Amino acid sequence: MLALTGIKVHYGAQQVLYGVDVTVGRGELLAVLGANGCGKSTLLRAAAGLQPMTAGEVLVGGEPAGRLDIAVIFQHIHLVRRRSVLDNVCAGALGRLPLHKSLVPALFPAEVKEEAMACLDRVGLADRAHDKAGSLSGGQQQRVAVARALCQRPKVLLADEPVSALDPAASEQVLALLAELAHDEDMAVLAVLHQPALASRHADRVVGMRDGQVALDGAPDQPVDHLYSPINPLSVETVS
Amino acid sequence: MTVLQQEVRKLTVPPKPRQPKRKIISLVITAVVVAAHVFAWNTTGMSVTAFAEGWQGMVDFIGEAFPPNLSWEVLKPSLEGARTTLWIGLLGTTLSVPASLVLALLATRGMAPGYVYQSARSVLSFLRAVPEIVFALVFVTAVGLGPFPGVLALVCHNVGVMGKLWAESIEDVDPGPATALRSAGAGRIQVASHALLPMVTPQMTGLLMYRFDVNVRSSLVLGLVGAGGIGFLINQSIRTFKFDEMLTHIIVVLVLIIAVDRLSALVRARLS
């Protein structure tokens, strides 16, 4: 479903991604692991169109990704805390609504609100629709962010460290929800994670990154310690 | 041996690294600031002796104003003038909101193309640079004496000030929700109305209340140049040497300003 091919990214003169190839199948939750600075979040931002690429392609279903094909869930959640949960979820539909039907929340068509309610129900928060987003716990806010992403009707879901700010129980819930969405809704879900244990429990496949390149790609229960070790085994192999 | 009785380990504080360049810059800045003050003192004709010699005249002037004339014949027009001043300040604030909002959004970095951003910033700078009193004189010649030119003058100047303050508030807001909506395909206006403005509404309302407070005081000054309100009455009583009436008007103004200031502070405190 999602194919990232030959992705290269530079920050000024510094190259951070060296032609990365990653695919995520329909109905699959792929976890991307790696140490800080290895380029995994840059890869996700490039896939989402939030980071200009030097080279490479982002394909969804074999075609160049459309504006609304990919939805993103952010580490810092990024809800408008003063607005209601429902208004925040409806905002996921902004990309397909004309301005006269979306200038203020009161103008959102009834069908968009009903769809947003269904998305909220999907993440188990339909009863909190009229609460202020800021009044929810961190885990609940992240689930609202997932509902907002669903309201975009995407084919691919990208999650950038979605559980970094959450406690272990909320992290399990959010990861389980992402896995459910991948399996039940037949979506391709790519989640950048810092917790190999969570990845092994919930992901269908794991990609490990190191120094801007893919260092492993396979089953979620394989050892990943070398991704976080200070000496790069790839470099050692090359030298030896 | 208790913890307090144990010998406390000490370490010599290392000397601060020498920064001769920074010291020279500080000296130069201090010298420039002092020189500017000396120059300003001479240019504005500041004189302690002139002030001491003229002290008696000021005391006489204030003496003639006491006691204030609190008769209903003076108090009634004074209260009506204060009411007009309040309405000028109110309309001068609220009527400037639409233009301030549009210009603030256009003058927010990243919201509009570069040339639009620069143009909006220039318009705001111009409106802010021209004082209300100059706008009032222009509008008095256009539409005649009275509160109307006062309102127009306040609107023009207030758009400049409020547009800039609002633009800076919007720029300071957490960019996260805006990024999230942009990634969901929202356009610039949708991002502004669904992410930026809801987040910055408390700050904007607080600034609006502060400007209302300032505008009521400004509308008093505008009355002096014929824009109506209690300022006009103060001007008239000075011209006709009725200083006791002038003091009555000033007392009414004082009450009005304190009331508006309290209201503004109350609203801002609730918002924060």
pLDDT tens-place string over residues A175-192:
999 999 899 988 999 999
Domain-by-domain residue ranges, chain A? Answer: 1-69+156-240, 79-153
* From B176, B181, B201, residue closest to A94, measured CB to CB: B181
Model pTM score: 0.79
B197 within domain boundaries? yes
Q: How far apart are the first and last CA of chain A?
A: 38
Indicate yes or no: CB of A91 within 8 angstroms of CB of B186.
yes
For residue B157, the domain's CATH number is 1.10.3720.10
Q: Which domain holds residue B172?
A: 68-271
Count the domains in chain B: 1
Whether omega before B175 lies within 30 degrees of 0, making that bond cis, reads no
| B107, part of any domain | yes
For chain A, say whether B190 makes contact (Cβ under 8 Å).
yes
Beta carbons of B185 and A49 less than 8 Å apart: no
Instruction: Confirm or reject contact between B186 and chain A (CB < 8 A).
Output: yes
Q: How confident is the model at residue A132 (pLDDT cuts 50, 70, 90)?
A: very high
Q: Does A94 contact B201 at a Cβ distance shorter than 8 Å? A: no
Radius of gyration of chain B (CA): 27
Largest Cα–Cα separation, chain A: 66
Q: Using the beta-carbon criterion (under 8 Å), do A78 and B176 form an inter-chain contact?
A: yes
Alpha carbon distance B55, B115 (integer Å): 55
Mean of the per-residue pLDDT values for chain B? 89
Contacts of A116 in chain B (CB under 8 A): none
| Residue A146 touches partner B, C-beta closer than 8 Å | no
Q: Is residue B36 part of a domain?
A: no
CB contact under 8 A, A94 and B195: no
A48 interaction partners in chain B (CB closer than 8 Å): 183
A with B: how many residue pairs have Cβ under 8 Å apart?
A: 70
Q: Which residues of B touch A145 (CB under 8 A)?
A: 180
Give me the residue from A67, A80, A103 closest to B198, CB to CB. Answer: A80
Structure tokens at B207: 């600034």
Give me the pLDDT at residue B272, please.
66
Placement of tokens 């339909």 in the chain = A126
Nearest CB neighbour to B186, from listed A74, A94, A105: A94
pLDDT in tens, A31-82: 999 988 889 999 999 999 889 999 999 999 889 988 889 999 998 889 999 9
Residues of B in contact with A159 (CB under 8 A): none
Six-digit token string for B137 = 């004189």
* Domain-located, residue B26: no
Segment B55-78 mean pLDDT: 85
DSSP-derived letter for residue B70 is -
Q: Specify the amino acid at residue A145.
A: A
Greatest pairwise CA separation for chain B in angstroms:
90
Q: Tell me: pLDDT of B137 over 90.
A: no
In chain A, the residue whose alpha carbon lies closest to the alpha carbon of B192 is: A103
For every residue of B5-65, DSSP letters joined together read: TSPPP--PPPPPPP-HHHHHHHHHHHHHHHHHHHHHHHHTT--HHHHHHHHHHHHHHHHHH
Assess if residue B94 is contained within a domain: yes
Establish if B56 belongs to a structural domain.
Answer: no
Residue window 90-119, chain A: list those with CB within 8 Å of chain B.
91-92, 94-97, 99, 102-105
What is the pLDDT confidence band of residue B232, given thresholds at 50, 70 and 90? confident
What is the CATH code for A1-69+156-240?
3.40.50.300
Q: How far is B208 from chain A (nearest CA, A)?
A: 19
Q: Is B180 in contact with A104 (Cβ distance < 8 A)? A: no
Cβ contacts of residue B107 below 8 Å, gap of 6+?
Answer: B117, B120, B121, B124, B163, B164, B167
- Assess whether pLDDT exceeds 60 at residue A233: no
Does a structural domain hold residue B202? yes
Q: Is A164 on the interface with B (CB under 8 A)?
A: no
The whole-angstrom distance between B264's CA and the closest CA on chain A is 22
Cα of first residue to Cα of last residue in chain B, in angstroms, is 52
In this predicted model, what pLDDT tens digit does every residue of B1-44 receive, in sequence order? 555 566 788 888 888 888 889 889 999 999 999 999 999 999 99
Phi then psi for residue A19, to 5 deg, are 70, 60
Using the Cβ of A191 and the Cβ atoms of chain B, whether some distance falls under 8 Å is answered with no
ipTM over 0.90 threshold: no
pLDDT tens per residue, range A146-174: 999 999 999 999 999 998 878 888 889 88
What pLDDT score does B11 carry? 87
Q: Does residue B195 sit at the A interface (CB-CB below 8 Å)? A: yes
- Asked if the C-beta of A68 comes within 8 angstroms of chain B's C-beta atoms, the answer is yes
